[in-house]
Amino acid sequence: MTTVRREAFGRMPPEEGGGEVEKFVLQSDSVRVEILSFGCIITTLETKDRDGQFSDVVLGFDTLEGYTRKHPFFGAVVGRVANRIANGRFSLDGKEYQLFLNNGPNSLHGGAKGFDKVLWSPQVLPNGVRFSRLSPDGEEGYPGDLKVWVTYTLSGRELAINYQAQTSKTTPISLTNHAYFNLAGQGSRDVYDHEISIEADSYLPVDDTKIPTGEVAAVQGTGFDLRQPVELGKHLQKFHLDGFDHNFCLRQGHDRRLVARVFHPPTGRTMEVHTTQPGIQFYTGNNLDGSLKGKGAATYPKHSAFCLETQNWPDAVNKPHFPNVLLHPGEEYNHTTWLVFNTA
C-alpha cells in the first residue's frame, strides 16, 4: 500500500518567474521518497537497513534555494539529452545545431537551463506522481516542440521512473535521473565499502573531456570489469583509478533487465537497478569537493556518493554506430528504470 501526500516546498525566485514548488511524498512500508515539481528532483529516499532502521540514502538540500543555485544535478531529471554532446554540436537533415557549452568544450545534461532547472506540472496518481511539460522548439538549441512526461510510482520496495516523450520535429532525446546514492546514509564520508556489480561486457573509453572516443571496449581484464561484485575502494586502488565516470554498454533490447546491484555490508542495504535503456553511466562523485552544504549541514566530499544513470550512450547523436538517440514525429520515446531496495 502506497500513500501519496503533496505539500508546499517553496517559491521560485521572482527572476525565475515565481511559481509554487510542491513536494510529493510517496510512502510504502519499506521506502519513503520525496520528489519536487522543480526538476522532478528526488530530494529524499529513505530505506531500511537490516535492523529495520530508516536512513536517507540520497544527497541533496533541505531548502529550495540549494536546488535553484548551482549544484551537480542532485536527484534531478536531466534532458533533453543526458550526458555530454561533443562541442555541443550535431547535424540533422543537413542542418547544424549548436548547443550551449556548459562542460568545458561540451554540452552536458541539457545545457544552460535543462529539464532539471524548470517547473513541471504535477498530477497525483494512486501510487505516485506524474510530471509533464512542453519543451518548446529551440529550447536550449534543440529542435521540435517536445512533450515530456516523467512518472514516479512506488510499490513496496520498488521505485519505478517512466519517461515518455513526443516531438513535432526529429530531435535527440535521452532522459535520466541523476540521484547520488550512499547506502550508508547521506552525509557518510565515502562509498568505498560498497560492493558493486554492473552487467556489462563492454564500456566506452573517453577522451580527456569525457567524450567517448567511439571505441566500444571489452571490460574483460580491465578495471571496468564489474560483472562480479567488487568492493569499490579496494578496486579503485588496485587499478589506480581516480573514480568512474563512464558509460557501460548494456545488452540491447526493450525488455526490463537487471543491470546493476549495489550492496552495503555494514547496513545490509542493497539496491538493484533494472532498466529498458541501452546504457548506464556509473559515476563515483569525483567532482564533489566538500564545498556544498547538504541536508542536515552535511558536507559531500569526493567519492561520498555514486550515480547509476540509465540512459542512451553519451554523444550518440554524433556516433552513428551507437544506439539510436533520435525521436521522430509520430513516434513515442518510452523508457522505464526500476530501483529495488532490499536488505541482505
With beta carbons less than 8 A apart as the criterion, state whether 150 and 165 touch: no
Q: Binning pLDDT at 50, 70 and 90, where does residue 189 land?
A: very high
pLDDT at residue 243 above 90?
yes
Provide mean pLDDT across the span 294-310. 97
Predicted local distance difference test score (pLDDT) of residue 17: 85
pLDDT at residue 290, rounded to an integer:
95
CATH of 3-193+267-343, one of 2.70.98.10, 2.40.50.140, 2.40.240.10, 3.40.640.10: 2.70.98.10
Average of per-residue pLDDT across 209-223: 97
How do residues 156-171 score in pLDDT, each as one tens digit? 999 999 999 999 999 9
Cell of 190: 565515502
Cell 554523444 -> residue: 315
**Residue numbers belonging to the annotated binding site for beta-D-galactose:** 83-84, 178-180, 245
Q: What is the pTM of this model?
A: 0.97
Active site members: 178, 309
Annotated binding residues, as ranges? 83-84, 178-180, 245
The domain locations on the chain are 3-193+267-343
pLDDT single digits (tens) 39-63: 999 999 999 999 999 999 999 999 9
> Cβ atoms within 10 A of the Cβ of 339, count?
26
pLDDT at 254: 84
Cα separation, 226 vs 248, in Å, equals 10
Phi, psi of 64 (to 5 degrees): -60, -35
Nearest to 39 by CA among 152, 116, 142, 92: 116
DSSP string, 159-222: EEEEEEEEESS-EE-B-EE---B-TT-TT-S-STT-EEEE--SEE--B-TTS-B-S--EE-TTS
State the pLDDT at residue 53.
97
